[in-house]
Structure 1
Amino acid sequence: MMEKIKIGAIGLGRLGYQHAENIAFKIPGAELIALCDKNEEKLNETVKAWGIPYSYTDYDEMIKNEELDAVVITSPSALHTTQIANALEAGLHVFSEKPLGTSVEECKVAEAAVEKYPDLVFMLGFMRRYDPSYAYAREKIKNGEIGKVVLFRGYSQDPESCIEGAIAYAGHSGGQFIDMAVHDIDLARWMLDSEPKTIHAIGGCYAHEEFGKYKDGDNVSALMQMENDAMVFLFAGRTAPHGYNVETEIVGTKATLRIASVPQKNMVEILDEHGVRRECSQDFLERFEQAYIEEINEFISCIRENRKPEVTVYDGTKTTEIAYQCKQAFETNELIRP
């Protein structure tokens, strides 16, 4: 049996911690041997609790570790492309969280690095592709079961309860379209197998004016027409009162597919003084728990089987490009023709 793939992970924020925990305890083909984070207290606490051999506060020091086979990058978005390039240069396979970069120029740097090292595996974390429901829906679309696609509608809403974190991060996020809608942009491209030919975007600061100083909104939307004439409507919001809500609908000429039209936490119904209700997922980690495991499993399988994942560096560049075109349309209130 092949030895486990030895991984170093950077970033112990919410998603970084989840990835690290999954690699340490839920991915049979992987072994987490190194962790890196600027927060020494959290780093030391985690390394000690999990029995991780190596810890670093400097990423460039971590990737010099000759025991490593691969890295998983969940650091601030602006660091991704440099860290991707440095890891590939060090001979390591790379999994990076989205976005690929916070500008198209940054994405091109990552593209050049990936092209320079064709024998290494690079994978980008568009985890929704690995959610069983989305994968199932895409097969139905590919098989022609819903006929010609008329409309893709994607909603991504964060709960109002998380607004303080969103405001604090707003100056570094790149805006709603790059930070949130990028997942729906990727899904639309993936499911429709087409690119946008026109983009219009609107929105505003409906509850939190703080986003306005970054030329952003707390709720934004975009309408696109794809090259295959399908319509795409995207909505990204920060103020959902009920919880974390990712909802997708694909309308075809023969059938309609809806994914998570109610963002229910589980199949339980509660009957009490409020009536009959279902509880909602409260964050992305809960909703996409299995998808995060499956995408790292796929990364490990690609390394073992010497093949490339379906998600490429070019998907990262293209979604970033479209997200910025949405941002441009939002800021200028003009129709964009990519």
Structure 2
Amino acid sequence: MGKVKVGIVGLGRLGRQHAENLAFRIPNCELLAVCSVIQDEVEQVQKEWDVKYAYTDYDEMLKNKELDAIFIASPSGFHCEQIEKALHAGFHVFSEKPLGLYLEEAVRVQEVVNNHPDKVFMIGFMRRYDRSYVYAKKKIEQGKIGDPVLVRCYGLDPAKAINGFMQFAKNNYSGGLFLDMAIHDLDLARWYLNAEAKQVWAIGGAYAYPEIAQLNDAETGAALVKFENNKMGIFVAGRNCAHGYHIETEIIGTKGTLRIGTTPDKNMVSVFDDNGVVKECSDGFLERFEQAYLSEAEEFISCIRENRQPSVTVEDGVLSTALGYACKESFETGELISVQSPYKTKPLSI
């Protein structure tokens, strides 16, 4: 086939990065349409990048039969509905995480995806495409650390981003600390341990920003997860990291340990001045995972052209959402929660 023609919905920080990758950095791809409810965003991108079509109505974009695929980078609460509509309209679909804010709707989306086996569907767990995380996975598969038994993850957003988060959360777009932030780490643990979660206990609080408690959420939280075969996961997530964007992962095995991102270095430069020797830190997720966001989009386009499905499946989205939901429920109730099968769910409030 020729170039894959893509329409993207959502032009916020991450959406704009995805749009730029699709427009300028991926061979055999054409960004044909952009969509946002914010008129100024649409007009700016269309003008600056010479995009053929621009929409403020998602349903109108889905009527465009020149498109091959839809790339969803809108707020989390819209993902499920937009995925279903795009698949029913006959498009291949990429959706940012999480799959949805409600577990039952994530399960429903999986059914819709499975009913369209001729369409490529991909969920945006971009860390699986980060070179360091991929390298660690290969080391595990090669037996370098024996049998992995514990995964420890830190996911800490920079404190300077708190105002942007508060606006996002007040619009009910977040889903909470564990579904919005920790879900990447929860997915990685499932991937590295090759096991599903059985029980979880989560705690946390709003320490520097008590207004987050009014949203029934935590500013900093932690979860202890028991996986199949007594494997373990320790997860710390927070929105008040003074030194920058800190993403760290450790995998402990029976014969060794792997660590990824032990210090969140911005680059290989050390600054020597009156502050001593300083290693600057990454400012945020777009900087730290720039390569991974590009690589996952490249994989999506390659899957369409090669008529195959990606290794990250809709089931990964459902199971990681189930674990994130269990963490959220444990935090809210203070109880040890057994992680139930996501295919026998009842509605949970957020």
Using the size of structure 1 for normalisation, the TM-score is 0.98
What secondary structure, in the 3-state scheme, does the structure 1 residue paired with 2:114 have?
Answer: helix
The aligned residue for residue 167 of structure 1 is 166
2:53 is the alignment partner of 1:36: no
Residue 207 of structure 1 is matched in structure 2 by 208
Matched, 1:227 2:228: yes
Which residue does 2:314 correspond to in 1?
313
Identity %: 55
Instruction: Report the counterpart of residue 62 of structure 1 in structure 2.
Output: 61
Structure 2: distance between partners of 1:42 and 1:86:
23
Residue correspondences, number = 337
- On the 8 A contact 2:202/2:331 being kept in 1, the answer is yes
C-alpha distance in 2, partners of 1:27/1:191?
28
Q: In 1, Cα distance between the equivalents of 2:108 and 2:18? A: 25
Give the aligned partner of residue 292 of structure 2: 291
Q: Deviations over 1:231-262 (max 9, x none)?
A: 10001000000111111011112111110100
CA RMSD of aligned residues (A): 0.9
Question: What are structure 2's unaligned runs of at least 5 residues?
Answer: 340-350
Shift of 1:320: 1.0
Distance (whole Å) between structure 2 residues aligned to residue 298 and residue 168 of structure 1: 32
| Gap regions ≥5 residues in structure 1 | none
- Does the 8 Å contact 2:120/2:309 carry over to 1? yes
Matches for 1:44-123 after TM superposition, within 5 Å: 44-123=43-122
Q: Secondary structure at the match of 2:230?
A: coil
Matched, 1:129 2:128: yes
In the TM superposition, what whole-angstrom CA distance separates every residue of 1:284-326 from its partner, at most 9, and x where no partner exists?
A: 0000000000001100111111111111111111111111100
d(CA) in 2 for partners of 1:291 and 1:136? 13
Name the SS of the counterpart of 1:34 in structure 2. strand
| Separation of aligned partners in 1, 2:15 and 2:126 | 14
1:212 is paired with a residue of what secondary structure?
helix
Which residue does 2:277 correspond to in 1? 276
2:139: which partner in 1?
140
Post-superposition offset of 1:166: 1.4
1:322 and 1:167 map into 2 onto residues whose CA distance is 24
Per the alignment, residue 344 of structure 2 pairs with: none
Does structure 1 retain, via aligned residues, the 8 Å contact 2:200–2:226?
A: yes
1:268-293 deviations in whole A, cap 9, x for unaligned?
01100000011100010000000000
Shift of 1:150: 2.8
Aligned equivalents of 1:315 and 1:67: distance in 2? 30
Match of 2:345 in 1: none
| Cα deviations by residue, 1:33-74 (Å, 9 ceiling, x for unpaired) | 100011111211110110100000001110110110001000
Within 1, Cα distance between the matches of 2:182 and 2:300? Answer: 24
Letter in 2 for 1:47: Q
Partner of 1:7: 6
- Tell me, yes or no, if structure 1 residue 241 matches structure 2 residue 242: yes
Q: Which residue is 1:26 aligned to?
A: 25
Q: Give the counterpart letter for 2:89 in structure 1.
A: A
The superposition leaves residues 45-104 of structure 1 with CA deviations (integer Å, 9 ceiling, x where unpaired) of 110110100000001110110110001000111111111111111110000000100011
- Report the secondary structure of 2:337's partner residue: coil
Q: Partner amino acid for 1:49?
A: E
Q: Distance in 2 between matches of 1:311 and 1:151?
A: 22
Q: What letter is aligned with 1:300? A: I
Question: C-alpha separation between the residues in 1 aligned to 2:41 and 2:217?
Answer: 32
Which residue is 1:153 aligned to? 152
| Structure 1 runs (4+) greater than 3 angstroms displaced | none
Tell me the distance in 1 between the aligned counterparts of 2:321 and 2:135.
25
Q: Which residue of 2 aligns with 1:259?
A: 260
SS state at 2:182 partner? helix
Q: Is the 8 A contact 2:153 2:236 kept in 1?
A: yes
Q: Deviations over 1:93-150 (max 9, x none)?
A: 0000001000111102211211121100000000000000000101111221101223
Task: Give the aligned residue type for 1:123.
Answer: M
Q: Whole-Å Cα distance in 1 between the matches of residues 16 and 281 of structure 2?
A: 23
Q: Cα distance, 1:214 vs. partner?
A: 2.2
Distance in 1 between the 2:32 and 2:160 partners?
35
Q: Deviations over 1:152-171 (max 9, x none)?
A: 00110001101111122224
Q: Secondary structure at the match of 2:54?
A: strand
